[in-house]
């Protein structure tokens, strides 16, 4: 027997029609690429999205066609999110920080037919236009006619202006109903290894993720919130905020292209932002600005950090000096993207300030909709004791089952689990802590050493700005850790003093065999340490260095 409830489909268009009807006057504020501030409401977003649907129909966009964006967080990007998925096409967000060859590969792989572009990416689109002419028939610059750049287009590809097209379109459009499992969005992972791979979201997975992140134990938006997503809409769906905020009726403050500490502090205060989300690098930049300028953030209550490990300093400084709670989450493109969030359970009630801050460094407990486990090399599940670490696997209705172009289920093991590529512990309360990426863990004499743990300790040294630990081949132990440290501006690092900070914090056999001071460390397009380059470069470092430090046997 089927239930007798209304068979209303979980479609993305319902998010924006809900916001327009029930939170119609709530603001969406955007710092435009050109520098001005644009403000309107959810009612305007929905109306203009219908207008944009008429534009795209006019450009020949059909159901399931891929429509790409190369854009910062802003109101037009939001309209494109809702229009493209709402009209049953697929919104393909592209990370403009990728190498142009990767962008060309992605556009060709996705077979995008239209690309929306912010004017700041005009040189990029001019460079790649001849190479994407196979599928792309129109480039729409997201601006007004007066600000249109002049870009030569190859034969068969049109250069169009967003506001010009909108001026010629009416709003007479009704959002269609279709199967909630229909593809809605496409995002390629950055390809830290191999070619980028496309994750293809559905309407159902997007809505379930929006519900999950909106729970009180996660992002938990309220209609009184004003949210500033620093995390980009061009990668990992800005952690689901463009969907979760309208669902809750929270106002959005879009930062555009300037994500430095000064610009963010100014926007946060001007627009009375209550909550913001971004990667640790962004928060370190904001902290440096606040400390240097003496400014305060008048309305910000909490910030979410994720995307890479959270430096302890962030939690302490924002908590103690500014009264802002730092919340830590973990996820990946393949998880829509949020998988865990670190919010307390009753067991954390009695923690001291230090213990609480220490606990926040963990990546958190599973959102509803995500199950997780850790396994050893033989694939056997490991206990949740907070000590043993193994490969982290996940499953759930907003976890990818395959990459774009591959058969459904092909990214899963026989029991339907997806291997995240992260190595983690899970404690008895269900809090997961990443100890490494599978490829970065150092396998010394059959035991695992966490590169992330060693990096976190290294950055507690007063002269160290950033640290990377890589596995170097070793004749006796197979692999041993080599530590690379980059000094803070104007400082010099004494390598021996860096080893001293490890005292009492890790077992002796975890100590790096070498400490090398470098001028800079390479990063990926999403701002993470590019370990692949470093691994290749330092793979044979210890082989080639006579008389390296000898270490006691593991255990």
List of residues 6+ apart from 353 with CB closer than 8 A? none
Q: Is 334 a catalytic residue?
A: yes
Residue from 334, 433, 455, 466 carrying the catalytic annotation:
334
List of residues 6+ apart from 292 with CB closer than 8 A? none
Q: Are strands 37-41 and 66-70 parallel, antiparallel or unpaired?
A: unpaired
Contact window for ligand ADP (CB under 6 A) among 86-94, 265-273, 407-415, 420-428: 420-428
Nearer to ligand ADP, 421 or 554 (CB): 421
Region 427-456 residues binding ligand ADP, contact defined as CB under 6 A: 434, 437
Region 1-60 residues binding ligand ADP, contact defined as CB under 6 A: none
Three-state SS annotation for 8-21: CCCCCHHHHHHHHH
Smallest distance, Å, CB 196 to ligand ADP?
Answer: 8
Smallest distance, Å, CB 425 to ligand ADP?
Answer: 13
Smallest distance, Å, CB 123 to ligand ADP?
Answer: 24
Nearer to ligand ADP, 334 or 513 (CB): 334
Nearer to ligand ADP, 86 or 242 (CB): 242
Phi first, then psi: what are they for 252, rounded to 5°?
Answer: -115, 135
Q: Is 354 a catalytic residue?
A: no
Asked if residue 26 has a cis previous peptide bond (ω within 30° of 0), the answer is: no
Nearer to ligand ADP, 23 or 109 (CB): 109
CB-count exposure of residue 326 (10 Å: 0-12, 13-18, 19+) = buried
- Show the tokens assigned to 550: 């000898």
Long-range CB contacts for residues 410-418, cutoff 8 Å, separation at least 24: 411/334, 413/379, 417/373, 417/393, 418/334, 418/393, 418/394
Site string for ligand ADP, 155-194 (x = CB under 6 A): ----------------------------------xx-x--
Contact window for ligand ADP (CB under 6 A) among 292-300, 324-332, 500-508, 509-517: 324-332
Site string for ligand ADP, 207-236 (x = CB under 6 A): -----------------------------x
Contact present, 202 and 183 (Cβ < 8 Å): yes
Nearer to ligand ADP, 32 or 363 (CB): 363
DSSP 66-84: EEEEE--BSHHHHHHHHHH
- What is the C-alpha separation between 57 and 59, in angstroms, rounded? 5
Interface pick for ligand ADP out of 232, 256, 306, 512 (rule CB under 6 A): 306
- What is the C-alpha separation between 334 and 329, in angstroms, rounded? 15
Residue from 83, 93, 143, 189 carrying the catalytic annotation:
189
Measured in residues, the chain has a length of 555
307 binds ligand ADP (CB under 6 A): yes
Smallest distance, Å, CB 440 to ligand ADP?
Answer: 9
DSSP 162-223: HHHHHHT------PPP--TTSEEEEEE---SSSS--EEEEEHHHHHHHHHHHTSTTTT---T
Interface size with ligand ADP, residues (CB under 6 A): 22
Region of 103 (left: φ > 0; alpha: ψ -120 to 50; beta: rest) is: alpha
Contact window for ligand ADP (CB under 6 A) among 52-60, 85-93, 131-139, 306-314: 306-314
- What is the C-alpha separation between 53 and 67, in angstroms, rounded? 12
Smallest distance, Å, CB 129 to ligand ADP?
Answer: 25
Taking the CA atoms of the chain, what radius of gyration do you get in angstroms? 24
363 binds ligand ADP (CB under 6 A): yes
Smallest distance, Å, CB 328 to ligand ADP?
Answer: 6
Nearer to ligand ADP, 128 or 434 (CB): 434
Residue from 72, 417, 448, 477 carrying the catalytic annotation:
448
Element (H, E) at 85: helix 75-86
Q: Is 417 a catalytic residue?
A: no
Nearer to ligand ADP, 76 or 235 (CB): 235
Q: Is 197 a catalytic residue?
A: no
Site residues (vs ligand ADP, CB under 6 A): 189-190, 192, 236, 306-309, 328, 330-333, 337, 363, 420-422, 434, 437, 526, 528
Residues with a known catalytic role: 189, 334, 443, 448
């Amino acid at each position: 027997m089927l239930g007798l409830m209304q068979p209303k489909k979980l479609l993305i268009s319902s998010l924006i029609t809900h916001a327009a009807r029930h939170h119609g006057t709530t603001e969406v504020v955007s710092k435009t690429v050109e520098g001005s501030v644009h403000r309107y409401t959810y009612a305007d977003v929905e109306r203009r999205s219908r207008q944009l649907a008429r534009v795209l129909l006019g450009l020949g966009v059909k159901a399931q066609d891929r429509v790409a964006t190369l854009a910062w967080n802003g109101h037009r990007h939001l309209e494109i999110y809702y229009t493209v998925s709402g009209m049953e096409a697929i919104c393909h967000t592209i990370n403009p920080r990728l190498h142009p060859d990767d962008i060309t590969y992605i556009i060709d792989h996705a077979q995008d037919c239209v690309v929306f572009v912010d004017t700041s990416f005009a040189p990029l689109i001019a460079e790649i236009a001849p190479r994407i002419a196979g599928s792309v028939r129109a480039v729409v610059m997201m601006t007004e006619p007066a600000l249109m750049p002049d870009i030569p287009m190859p034969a068969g590809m049109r250069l169009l202006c967003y506001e010009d097209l909108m001026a010629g379109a009416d709003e007479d459009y009704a959002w269609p109903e279709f199967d909630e499992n229909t593809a809605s969005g496409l995002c390629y992972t950055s390809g830290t290894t191999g070619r980028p791979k496309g994750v293809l979201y559905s309407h159902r997975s997007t809505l379930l993720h929006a519900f999950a992140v909106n729970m009180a134990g996660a992002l938990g938006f309220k209609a009184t919130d004003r949210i500033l997503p620093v995390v980009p809409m061009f990668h990992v769906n800005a952690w689901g905020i463009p969907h979760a905020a309208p669902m809750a009726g929270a106002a959005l403050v879009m930062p555009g292209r300037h994500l430095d500490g000064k610009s963010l502090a100014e926007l946060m205060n001007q627009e009375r932002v209550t909550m913001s989300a971004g990667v640790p690098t962004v928060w370190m930049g904001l902290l440096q600005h606040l400390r240097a300028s003496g400014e305060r953030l008048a309305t910000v209550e909490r910030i979410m950090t994720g995307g890479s490990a959270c430096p302890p300093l962030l939690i302490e400084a924002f908590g103690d000096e500014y009264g802002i709670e730092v919340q830590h989450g973990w996820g990946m493109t393949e998880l829509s993207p949020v998988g865990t969030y670190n919010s307390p359970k009753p067991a954390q009630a009695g923690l001291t300030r230090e213990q609480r801050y220490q606990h926040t460094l963990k990546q958190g407990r599973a959102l509803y909709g995500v199950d997780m486990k850790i396994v050893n090399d033989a694939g056997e599940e490991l206990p949740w004791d907070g000590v043993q670490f193994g490969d982290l696997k996940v499953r759930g209705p907003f976890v990818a089952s395959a990459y774009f172009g591959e058969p459904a289920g092909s990214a899963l093991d026989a029991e339907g689990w997806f291997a995240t590529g992260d190595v983690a512990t899970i404690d008895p309360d269900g809090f997961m802590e990443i100890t490494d990426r599978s490829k970065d863990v150092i396998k010394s004499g059959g035991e695992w050493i966490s590169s992330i743990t060693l990096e976190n300790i290294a950055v507690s040294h007063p002269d160290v700005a950033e640290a990377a630990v890589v596995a170097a081949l070793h004749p006796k132990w197979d692999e041993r850790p080599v530590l690379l440290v980059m000094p803070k501006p104007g400082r010099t690092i004494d390598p021996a003093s860096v080893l001293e900070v490890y005292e009492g914090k890790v077992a002796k056999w975890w100590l790096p065999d070498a400490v090398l001071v470098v001028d800079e460390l390479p990063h990926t397009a999403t701002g993470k340490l590019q370990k692949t380059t470093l691994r290749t470069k330092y793979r044979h470092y210890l082989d080639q260095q006579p008389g390296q430090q000898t270490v006691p046997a593991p255990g």
